[in-house]
Structure 1
């Protein structure tokens, strides 16, 4: 049984183009990386993303600052596979890093925590790698994975109940970016956009009274969509507290 020429052409395009598309999705970018020091080798709670303590310890402290990948804070929380290019010293798989800060220098795309930098090395080779200070790397974006964890909305420490509310999202899984956040105004029955304060922090003066309902725009490889979460933060919210959304992205 035959099939039309048009179907054959479509089939041929899939066979020819699919490997190309897969290769692009999995492609590595060449760059350089260095490291910064902290007393415990983990991240810093004062990173530009505004994550606080989460930015120090998430992903086991395998975190880092980025330069152009920061994207005015939109890149905060993104995950990358990073591996260095010195075969005798570097592990084949490399390590996964979570972006928690902004910084760059000496043509580097990543400034890793000391712990993260050591994860690039083969067993017993970390000291030799540290001696170089800056190493050639390749990297690609990979999905963030937080098994068993939902997204948390943390009320930033700068918030002042009830006059000023600032939020940052923690444990966001997947490959997507948060590009807008709205808050529901019950009195006007309308959504109002929050301001991007800095890094991953969104804020609003004079937020609505009562439980806080949010929607946020997710931008990923499959386009954009809005996620709506009603009454996700209680009416008596407190600065510094993180509230479980009971929701996780798979996007």
Structure 2
């Protein structure tokens, strides 16, 4: 099981701002200037799976049994001791980072000779990381190229290759279940069920259509034949004009009834049958926040679904209970943090800091103070806010409920935490301050949605790291204001297909406004990401 790391800290007069949940947490009570930080340990990923995502997943907080059992598959990747000989885990991580830089960023971080020597040393050590078949290497290249927005094979070719690797028993494409001997849990990846989320809008769409027909009937069908064109063109064009409004009304009605909803799907860790889990609020009645309990529709296994970190976990406790976890990008929606440039130095913020998602992407400098677990040199580390640490009202704010308002709390990733304090500390006092975010390259826009609804996740934001307002402009439209959806995403209900897209953005912190012209070409598509050539300073 995981241990909690906590620390209490004194805040100097540094710049600070509200924000949101999951890695190390920093907490404070309203009556004191002392704050505490909690760290939730990361769940190990099998090494063959690490190739796909060198960042470890996370695991809910708990207590390590007896003599603080640790997992040897995780700690080697987090060592901060630079003077000793590199461990096998560190060499493997270096190898994976070199692959990542070459395939994803298109640059070499070491010479061919250095890479060959590293590969040879790992081979002598018996590492499985370097034992990739040509098909596995092609799968990795295709996956990383797709994330970069430059696919090298069609969807049919990719699916065919993935099925073949599954038939060959390759662990590269394993989606679960995965076991952790330390936590006594089984994890199985979940994904967003976009089809069922779309079906949630169907009842509201029926109501919107009924309202349209009712108004049309009241006017003697004047609306249907509003345009004076030969039949059936008048009827067709009127419907095309009315359809965006009907869809907008349907989405609005749905959001009034069902708020902040998310439907996840994934295999049961026990029998492999797909199950769904709903998160959200229906008519002000919440499903329980970040945790769901359900039973497998096939075998009846008790499942516990938790929204944790940048993943929704499905975990299986040996002895009867199971649950599931999903890599979803957390409350900010950044997806795979490593692939999207955020690395491992990340943190989830308590709701006091999270500011309803407007703090996504902000950067903080954190230093451990007044604790025997702090390193002697008291080093700083800089983290990026990528998630929300939700309150836990079942626990006291000073004993487990570290993210309960009005406490300010950082839930830090393990690599980030180990740069300022010893891992077994749990909670330690810290000083923190807001700092500018140093980024490489321009803003990155990831598209989701459909032909009438554009949802854009904005990543790699420099300067203040946050966004306050956003507009989109098609090559055939003016500037259209986008509304804040959740986390780092903004949405517009407009038909923009076949148009080159530009974006205007305003920083929440500095109020600086920049324009990224022609970010996406006219043949842009959802599921792809596009890089701009501008960024905040």
State the TM-score, normalized to the length of structure 2. Answer: 0.37
Partner Cα separation in structure 1 for residue 485 and residue 16 of structure 2: 33
- Say which SS state the counterpart of residue 60 (structure 1) adopts: coil
Aligned to 2:337: 54
What's the counterpart of residue 203 of structure 1?
Answer: 491
| 1:90-122 CA distance string (max 9 Å, x none) | 24123111101011432451111222222222x
Distance in 1 (CA, whole Å) between partners of 2:446 and 2:334 is 9
Query: Structure 2 vs 1, CA of residues 134 and 88 (structure 1 numbering), >3 Å: closer, same or farther?
Result: closer
Indicate yes or no: 2:478 matched with 1:190. Answer: yes
Quick check: 1:38 aligned with 2:42? yes
Task: Tell me the C-alpha RMSD between the 2 structures.
Answer: 2.7
Residue 366 of structure 2 corresponds to residue 73 of structure 1: no
Give the Cα separation in 2 of the matches to 1:226 and 1:26: 21
Are residue 64 (structure 1) and residue 347 (structure 2) matched?
yes
CA distance in 2, matches of 1:127, 1:177: 30
Could you list the per-position Cα deviations for residues 120-171 of structure 1 after superposition, in whole angstroms to 9, with x for gaps in the alignment? 22xxxx2442xxx222222101111123x22111114xx23x2321111111
Structure 1 residues 82-231: aligned runs within 5 Å: 82-91=366-375, 92-104=378-390, 105-106=401-402, 107=407, 109-121=409-421, 126-129=422-425, 133-147=426-440, 149-156=441-448, 159-160=449-450, 162-175=451-464, 177-184=466-473, 187=476, 189-209=477-497, 210-221=499-510, 224-231=511-518
Counterpart-to-counterpart distance in 1, 2:16 and 2:503: 35
- Structure 2 equivalent of residue 15 of structure 1: none
Alpha-carbon distance between aligned partners in 1 of 2:469 and 2:338, rounded to the nearest angstrom: 21
With over 3 angstroms needed to count, the CA separation of the structure-2 counterparts of 1:200 and 1:55, relative to structure 1, is: farther
Q: Give the number of equivalent residue pairs.
A: 214
State how far apart, in whole Å, the 1-side matches of 2:482 and 2:338 are.
22
Deviation at 1:27, TM superposition (A): 8.2
- Between Structure 1 and Structure 2, which shows a larger proportion of strand residues? 1
SS at match of 2:353: helix
Quick one: structure 1 residues 231 and 99, their matched pair in 2 at CA, closer, same or farther if it must change by over 3 Å? same
Displacement of 1:230: 2.0
Shift of 1:36: 1.9
Cα distance in 2 between the residues matched to 1:168 and 1:214: 12
> Contact 2:344–2:413 (CA<8 Å) still a contact in 1?
yes
Query: Which protein is bigger by CA-based radius of gyration?
Result: 2
Alpha carbons 2:452, 2:496 under 8 Å: kept: no
Higher helix share: 2
**Long gaps (5+) in structure 1:** 1-22
CA distance in 2: counterparts of 1:34 and 1:102, whole angstroms: 13
Superposed displacement of residue 214, structure 1: 1.2
Q: Secondary structure at the match of 1:82?
A: strand
Give the structure 2 partner of residue 237 of structure 1.
Answer: 524
Preserved contact between residue 33 and residue 110 of structure 1 (Cα < 8 Å)? yes
| Contact 1:179 1:219 (C-alpha < 8 Å) held by counterparts | yes
Relative distance call for 1:228 and 1:58 in structure 2 (3 A) is: closer
Q: Name the CA distance, whole Å, in 2 between partners of 1:69 and 1:55.
A: 23
